[in-house]
Structure 1
Amino acid sequence: MNRKQTLDLLRKYDIRPTRSLGQNFLVDESVVVDIGKLAELGSDDLVVEIGAGVGGLTEHLARRAGAVCALEIDAHVLPALRAVLHGFSNCTIIHADALQVNLTDLVAAWPGQVKVVANLPYYITTPLIKKILIELPGCSALILMLQKEAADRILAPPMRRAYGPVAVLTACFGTASRKLKVPADAFFPRPNIDSVIIQVVRADQQFSIADWEEFHLFLERCFAHRRKTLANSLKNAGLSADQLLNLPAALARLELDPDVRADHLTHEQLAALYALLTIEL
């Protein structure tokens, strides 16, 4: 769907972009095509699209995937979205806040691969990415369009200011890379800054993490007090007494300095430390 088609649709259904929802509709067909190529869709794929809007991208995905679950929070755009997707029996529109949807249950019955495609508004980018990684660790790929600052947090390496729980979760999930810059003119209304598209591909040999939600909580505790040592941060953030007792031995087994800070550790080291602290040493 190009700019003219999108603007005509907005006028027809009297849709005014909602600033509080961070609504910026994608109106550049070439970007839609690029996203489709990055997703590498086939008939065995279920796509979970977060923020379907008026369906410009959704329609493109539906032509290539086995099924699409299109999540959209804004009731005002639903009539237009339903009209655009009327001829696609493989599309399910879900009117809901993606943060409140159980993504695990949503895809449980699908026998093939699951992929996530999303144009994420800035104000919920980090919570949504964490939710996707925690609830869909078996997802084969994520194609995310987001603002540069949010992408920096996802792709940050150790010892960088942006490095934190979401970067560690992403790295444990698979390989993340920045693929395309999307100019502000590709959207209506035009945002103040450009966006980027990142691709996250699930690792063939993914880390064996029994409970991704608990692992995320552990990471939040590790980075809760960034300027403190890892041990002090975990203690102040409420790590259990038994795990605190085992922490020195776990650090020693991994040949880590007892005064190391969380932001100096790689995702491999943090995952290994979590594993040691959740089994009997």
Structure 2
Amino acid sequence: MAELLGPSDIRTLAESLGTSPTKKWGQNFVVDAGTVRRIVRIAGVGSDDHVVEVGPGLGSLTLALLESGAAVTAVEIDPKLAAALPETVASRAPDESSRMSVVHGDALRVDSLDTAPTALVANLPYNVSVPVILHFLETFPTLERVLVMVQAEVADRLAAGPGSRTYGIPSVKARWYCDVRRAGDVKRNVFWPVPRVDSALVLMERRAIPTTTASREEVFAVIDAAFAQRRKGLRGALSGIAGSAAAAEEALTSVGIAPLTRGEQLEIGDFVRIAEALNSASQ
């Protein structure tokens, strides 16, 4: 088994590197071995998986992923931490180190990996969590599942269903790719530094994207417009991309959606049908 990192290990390692968590990159390092093993267990990864981990930091979760038998590609934007991670893994999991590689760069710009990933498992920085998830789901269709630790509020948004007050753009766009559910809470005291908010785990399992004549970009444009003003009926909210409120009403009516329906009442399939109707009207 790998020698996982505890609170004193994390601080000692950071001190030896002359570094500390920074707000610039949203760094909060996990210092509890039980938490990272729980993440790996819920993610269900094993020796058949190639996991991409975004923001490995000092390597807490990386070591637990390697312990499961998975191969890991760690994407780290901090140059000092990216350079130090291989040495940490070599010293604490020498038998597993050959299954780990590091990509130094911005996760939002990663568009290829040496091996197609089957899972994304990560403790994501709060400020970029949703864009990173959507980017990887779109860029890597081989991803079968995503298990991420994010701010509890973000987890609620991702897992929310139609009609919920937290249902919005992240909720709908995630369902273009996956079935989504909240997979547990994470208390703030497992991090260093301790954040001001609690975190939660979100499990996303890939399913077939909707069958449609509209492109993903067209469907997502409808979603963006529908939620731009949450309390506005779709007739007005979609007037910009439809060309007029009357054209929006005609498209909505043609697919059986009342013009004054609000975006938070619709499912992903409804947004797909609206995009198709708008396409047909423009041809």
Q: Please tell me the TM-score bracket, short chain as reference.
A: 0.7 to 0.9
1:197-228 deviation per Cα after TM superposition (whole angstroms, max 9, x unaligned): 1111123x542367434432331122222222
Deviation at 1:21, TM superposition (A): 1.7
Query: Identity of paired residues, percent?
Result: 32
Are 1:47 and 2:51 an aligned pair? yes
1:24 maps to which of 28, 31, 40: 28
Q: Secondary structure at the match of 1:163?
A: coil
> Alignment length, in residue pairs?
272
1:34-85 deviation per Cα after TM superposition (whole angstroms, max 9, x unaligned): 1111121133322111111011111221233543221111112223312123
Residue correspondence of structure 1 range 1-150 to structure 2 within 5 A:
1=4, 2-86=6-90, 87=94, 88-102=97-111, 105-106=112-113, 110=116, 114-150=118-154
1:151-210 deviation per Cα after TM superposition (whole angstroms, max 9, x unaligned): 12112222333221110012232221112211111111111222111111123x542367
Q: Take 2:79 and 2:11, find their aligned partners in 1: how far apart are those partners?
A: 18
Residue identity opposite 1:94 in structure 2: V
1:216-259 deviation per Cα after TM superposition (whole angstroms, max 9, x unaligned): 233112222222221321223xx154x98875454234321122
Structure 1 residue runs without a partner (length 5+): none
Query: Which deviates the most, 31-40 or 208-217?
Result: 208-217
Query: Which deviates the most, 222-231 or 131-140?
Result: 131-140
Q: TM-score, normalised by structure 2?
A: 0.85
Residue identity opposite 2:210 in structure 1: F
Decide whether the 8 Å contact of 1:134 with 1:213 is kept in 2.
no
Q: Take 1:234 and 1:252, find their aligned partners in 2: how far apart are those partners?
A: 13
Decide whether the 8 Å contact of 1:129 with 1:166 is kept in 2.
no
Residue identity opposite 2:143 in structure 1: C
Q: Take 2:57 and 2:199, find their aligned partners in 1: how far apart are those partners?
A: 17
Q: Take 1:95 and 1:31, find their aligned partners in 2: how far apart are those partners?
A: 25
Please name the residue that 1:269 is paired with.
270
Q: Take 2:18 and 2:86, find their aligned partners in 1: how far apart are those partners?
A: 15
Q: Aligned Cα RMSD in Å?
A: 2.5
Decide whether the 8 Å contact of 2:51 with 2:121 is kept in 1.
yes
Are 1:255 and 2:256 an aligned pair? yes
Q: TM-score, normalised by structure 1?
A: 0.86
Decide whether the 8 Å contact of 2:180 with 2:205 is kept in 1.
yes
Decide whether the 8 Å contact of 1:9 with 1:80 is kept in 2.
no
Q: Take 1:249 and 1:65, find their aligned partners in 2: how far apart are those partners?
A: 55
Q: Secondary structure at the match of 1:89?
A: helix
Q: Secondary structure at the match of 1:21?
A: coil
2:211 maps to which of 183, 208, 213: 208
Structure 2 residue runs without a partner (length 5+): none
Q: Take 2:137 and 2:276, find their aligned partners in 1: how far apart are those partners?
A: 18
Are 1:168 and 2:172 an aligned pair? yes
Decide whether the 8 Å contact of 1:75 with 1:95 is kept in 2.
yes
Decide whether the 8 Å contact of 1:141 with 1:201 is kept in 2.
yes
Decide whether the 8 Å contact of 2:242 with 2:278 is kept in 1.
no
Decide whether the 8 Å contact of 2:239 with 2:247 is kept in 1.
no
Decide whether the 8 Å contact of 1:74 with 1:95 is kept in 2.
yes
Q: Secondary structure at the match of 2:194?
A: coil
Residue identity opposite 1:89 in structure 2: S
Deviation at 1:93, TM superposition (A): 0.5
Decide whether the 8 Å contact of 1:36 with 1:61 is kept in 2.
yes
Decide whether the 8 Å contact of 2:59 with 2:89 is kept in 1.
yes
